[in-house]
Amino acid sequence: MVRYLIDIGHPAHVHLFKNVAWKLQETGNIVLFTCRDREHVIHLLKTYGFVYKNFGKHYKTLKGKIYGLAKNEMQMINTALSFKPDIFISHGSTIAAHASFFIGKPHIALEDTFNMEQVRLSMPFTDVVLTGDYPHPSLGKKDIQYPGYHELAYLHPNVFTPEEGVLESLGVKKGERYAIVRFVAWNASHDVGHKGLSNESKFKLIEELSSILKVFISSEADLPENLSKYQIRIAPEQMHNALTMAHLFVGESGTMASEAAILGTPAIFMNDKHFGCIDDQISYGVLHQFSESKEDQLRFVDKALELARLKDKDSCIKAARKMLDKKISVSDFLFWFVQNYPGSEQEMRKGNFDFHRFK
């Protein structure tokens, strides 16, 4: 029996690790999640039946983040001393890395955004970091690459089967076309200097998009009154079903854009920064990215309207299947890696590793 501590920093991390956690528990191991009270995180952990330790408020201001980091460091160390984990797992969590070093246990990290302000704090205390095999900043000798994206840990066909019942929750008929639009709050540490869509562009996008198909908005921040009627009202765990059935995804969230692309739903993403995983998906034609410039915001809206007018999304579904043929089931790979660590790391570092077993 092995004790695993998995730290969650974002709602997507719950999805990233849920299948691995279930498999670890099914094989007789003990798993504890640690988290902050952030959008949907607690709800998802409860829904999936996980044991978790909530460290409290998620701070949004720079001053709050500095205070929260210090506070969470102590909470994590105290939790680790009490739980006595054998292995820490996270998405590049600074507090998990530091706590693992403090109690002398390994920290296995996953990374796909390469926010260097976080990487610099966590990497010296991380034993191994798993990354996709697309071009990305070097993380040195600790980096081990695999053919996949984080989203394939929970959306690969091996672990995800969409449910059409979400259509009833959305109030749409089977075959009725709709778009999901995602706005982010832009208050994360890696969002400094970013602004996303202007309010003018948001209003133009929704007004013109809603004249073509039904529109649902998912937003981190409160929506303006004139957009609140478009607020999506489904349980958070139903979002991937909704993305699968959608005709189009448009938004500022890289994670949801990647999810939509994997599911065969045309996706449009706005961000000045380029991410290796997103660029890789763009190369397959399942995703489009635009910068935050005034000129690109107009092109962003025009592209959304162009895709909204398409009769179907068959070409995107075919492109997504072609992309998936080159990738693995990340949860199957991650389960093997953490369960067999450190032998798994040693095996992979020998070279010529065969990923076919995780197809």
pLDDT at 120: 87
| 78 and 127 fall within a common domain | yes
Match 């303006």 to its residue by tokens.
Answer: 224
Inter-axis angle of helices 11-26 and 330-339, nearest 10 = 60
Inter-axis angle of helices 254-262 and 314-324, nearest 10 = 90
Q: How many CA atoms lie within 13 A of 319 on its CB side?
A: 18
Residue 161 lies in a domain: no
pTM of the model: 0.92
Which amino acid appears at position 337 of this protein? F
Inter-axis angle of helices 94-103 and 62-83, nearest 10 = 40
| 37 and 181 fall within a common domain | no
| 221 and 205 fall within a common domain | yes
pLDDT at 113: 85
| 170 and 314 fall within a common domain | yes
| 223 and 143 fall within a common domain | no
| 242 and 304 fall within a common domain | yes
179 phi and psi, to 5 degrees? Answer: -120, 145
Residues spanned by the domain of 43: 3-156+328-358
Question: Which segments in the chain show pLDDT lower than 70?
Answer: 60, 62, 186-195
pLDDT at 39: 80
CB 146 within 8 A of CB 132: yes
Structure tokens at 177: 């076309």
| 90 and 219 fall within a common domain | no
Distances (CA, A) of 272 to 177, 186, 200, 275, 291: 29, 13, 18, 10, 5
pLDDT at 192: 44
pLDDT at 311: 92
Number of separate domains in the chain: 2
| 15 and 140 fall within a common domain | yes
CB 256 within 8 A of CB 243: yes
CB 116 within 8 A of CB 273: no
